[in-house]
């Protein structure tokens, strides 16, 4: 593998300005200088003056990670958390099928790589933690992957139907539907020496899973074996129990919390950065889970009410519910980061572009609870260039950065136009004009003899013109067929690096690469020497 840094690709405005260290955006964060070692030394000093539920966390994480047969490196890292000097590098994502889009893998690699680098630099125990957002309920975001079939990108959705807003942590996976889905996805891949083992392992992991989160975690532990990665599910009952004291604080200070976040959004918006999340002043930033349905809560007349009036609680009633069943109170994008900082001694949070944007709203909310926004480190954003794609880029002398930003559709057409005879358009136009000139006298004669023939005469002229156009299109098609091999090479580049006009990491899944290169592909990615400078990483295979 060869690693190349190129200019960062466009993301949202806040993330782009954050990576460029724009002061207007940096003011919304407590530790803006993320490339400076002193930032993390200061953060350590901040953390050492705070207390965390370390022993409860160690006990819980040991029990939870052992459920998934975590390796000894992971269990050793969990034990490190009992050390008052230990800190964590943390980030998270939803439990997508087959781990979801590539950016999930990129985030895990970011967490592990940054934790190793920080531990070496700071000489303190740094534990990599991946937070599975199991309390999220948007099944449509995790129920599919994209495949390439007959040169076309197609979406493959699992056959299981989910009608409730059910958190992924408690959403049972339909084993038969999942097996059928995996078989369908793999049918679009070329069979290699690795295919059979991948299918056997997926079947083992699926058979041992009850929920979508279980299946996700088993795959992650398999892919990142011996890396010491610790996994936590934000929707798990045991984890919710550890966070209970803070959940109560979120309920008691809910009015002020909502006010601080809403005013922060207004400030961000006034600077021209839009609105990172959809909120209004009545948001409680909490959900109530009832009978497997996740209900968004709002504050109305001093009470906590379901957005569609599904429930209504006084503050004391909601506190009692939280006490009796902590997992029935669920966080949103605002309160989840706050809970994370209450539980974990966070040296750095590894964030995607969207997370950078909405964390910009949280500084005042953090301060409300005596916390600080941890250093926000943008995750590694990568594009993988296989040998064939690299060969085609060289063959057509295409600019890689331009392809990554815009795709190569326009480049393909420009290349084709340079080989297409200029005379086609000219000859077709001349033919149309000549036939029109020859046809007009006949049309006028028909109308003169019988005015009722006017429509027929004009229709006749239109038919003749369409036939000329038809022949022109057939000529065009023949020319494209002549260059079909070259056109397919452009298509390969586009599908690989800018599929559906989106970044590669948002469409493709890691199993395409595992099928081609085996599990060692992950290890090779982990061993690359990444620079944390905000630039886009291009990996040549």
pLDDT above 80 for 536: yes
What's the pLDDT tens digit per position in 436-492? 999 999 999 999 999 999 999 999 999 999 998 999 889 888 888 888 999 999 999
Q: Which residue has the higher pLDDT, 222 or 422?
A: 222
Compute the CA torsion angle 133, 323, 287, 172 (nearest 10 deg). Answer: 50
Percent of the chain clearing pLDDT 90 (strictly above): 83
Contacts 24+ apart (CB under 8 A), 525-529: 525/1, 525/105, 525/109, 526/109, 526/112, 526/113, 526/227, 528/1, 528/3, 529/3
Q: What is the per-residue DSSP string for 149-214? A: ETTEEEEEE-S----S---GGG-B--HHHHHHHHHHHHTTSPP-TTHHHHHHHHHHHHHT-SBHHH
Average pLDDT on 149-174 reads 92
Q: Which residue has the higher pLDDT, 61 or 468?
A: 61
Q: Which residue has the higher pLDDT, 8 or 259?
A: 259
Band the pLDDT of 251: cuts 50, 70, 90. Answer: very high
Q: In what order do the strands lie in the sheet with 230-233?
A: 230-233, 126-132, 87-93, 346-351, 376-378
- Confidence (pLDDT) at 11: 85
Closest by CA position to 18, among listed 368, 276, 337, 364: 276
H helix or E strand, kind and range, residue 441: helix 423-449
Average pLDDT on 292-320 reads 93
- Confidence (pLDDT) at 172: 94
- Confidence (pLDDT) at 105: 98
Average pLDDT on 45-74 reads 96
CB contact at 8 A, 287 and 329: yes
- Confidence (pLDDT) at 426: 85
**Phi-psi sector, 93: left (phi>0), alpha (psi -120 to 50), beta:** beta
Average pLDDT on 281-306 reads 93
Average pLDDT on 247-251 reads 96
- Confidence (pLDDT) at 372: 96
pLDDT above 90 for 20: no
Query: Is the overall model pTM greater than 0.85, yes or no?
Result: yes
3-state secondary structure of 452: helix
- Confidence (pLDDT) at 417: 84
pLDDT above 80 for 214: yes
The mean of the pLDDT values for the chain is 94
């Amino acid at each position: 593998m060869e690693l190349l840094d190129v200019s960062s690709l466009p993301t949202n405005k806040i993330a782009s300005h954050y990576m460029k260290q724009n002061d207007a955006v940096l003011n919304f964060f407590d530790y803006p200088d993320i490339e400076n070692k002193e930032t993390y030394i200061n953060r350590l000093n901040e953390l050492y003056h705070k207390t965390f539920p370390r022993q409860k966390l160690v006990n819980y994480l040991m029990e939870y990670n052992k459920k998934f047969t975590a390796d000894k490196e992971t269990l050793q890292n969990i034990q490190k958390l009992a050390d008052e000097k230990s800190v964590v590098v943390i980030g998270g994502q939803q439990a997508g099928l087959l781990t979801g889009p590539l950016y999930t893998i990129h985030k895990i690699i970011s967490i592990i790589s940054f934790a190793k680098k920080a531990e070496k630099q700071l000489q303190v125990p740094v534990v990599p933690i991946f937070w599975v957002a199991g309390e999220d309920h948007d099944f449509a975001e995790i129920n599919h992957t994209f495949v390439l079939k007959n040169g076309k990108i197609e979406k493959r959705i699992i056959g299981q139907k989910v009608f409730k807003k059910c958190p992924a942590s408690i959403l049972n996976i339909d084993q038969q539907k999942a097996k059928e889905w995996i078989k369908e996805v793999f049918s679009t891949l070329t069979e290699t020496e690795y295919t059979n083992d991948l299918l056997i392992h997926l079947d083992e992991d699926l058979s041992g899973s009850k929920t979508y989160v279980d299946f996700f975690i088993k795959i992650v532990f398999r892919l990142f074996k011996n890396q010491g990665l610790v996994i936590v599910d934000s929707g798990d009952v045991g984890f919710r129990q550890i966070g209970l004291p803070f959940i109560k604080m979120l309920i008691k200070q809910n009015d002020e919390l909502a006010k601080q976040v809403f005013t922060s959004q207004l400030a961000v918006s006034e600077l021209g950065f839009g609105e990172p999340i959809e909120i209004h002043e009545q948001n409680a930033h909490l959900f109530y889970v009832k009978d497997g349905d996740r209900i968004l809560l709002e504050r109305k007349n001093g009470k906590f009410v379901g957005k569609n009036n599904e429930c209504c609680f006084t503050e004391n009633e909601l506190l009692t519910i939280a006490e009796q069943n902590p997992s029935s109170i669920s966080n949103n994008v605002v309160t989840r980061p706050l809970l994370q900082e209450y539980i974990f001694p966070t040296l750095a949070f590894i964030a995607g572009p969207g997370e950078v944007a909405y964390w910009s709203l949280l500084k005042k909310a953090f301060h409300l609870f005596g916390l600080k926004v941890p250093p926000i480190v943008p995750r590694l954003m990568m594009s993988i260039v296989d040998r064939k794609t690299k060969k085609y880029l060289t063959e057509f002398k295409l600019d890689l950065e331009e392809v990554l930003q815009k795709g190569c559709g326009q480049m393909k057409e420009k290349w084709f136009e340079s080989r297409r005879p200029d005379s086609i358009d000219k000859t077709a136009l001349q033919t149309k004009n000549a036939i029109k000139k020859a046809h007009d006298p006949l049309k006028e004669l028909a109308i003169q003899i019988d005015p009722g023939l006017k429509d027929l005469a004009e229709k006749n002229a239109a038919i003749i013109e369409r036939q000329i156009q038809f022949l022109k299109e057939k000529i065009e098609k023949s020319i494209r067929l002549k260059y079909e091999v070259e056109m397919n090479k452009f298509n390969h580049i586009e599908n690989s690096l800018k599929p559906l006009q989106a970044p590669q990491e948002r469409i493709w899944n890691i199993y395409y690469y595992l099928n081609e290169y085996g599990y060692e592909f992950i290890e090779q990615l982990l061993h690359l020497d990444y620079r944390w400078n905000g630039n886009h990483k291009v990996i040549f295979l």
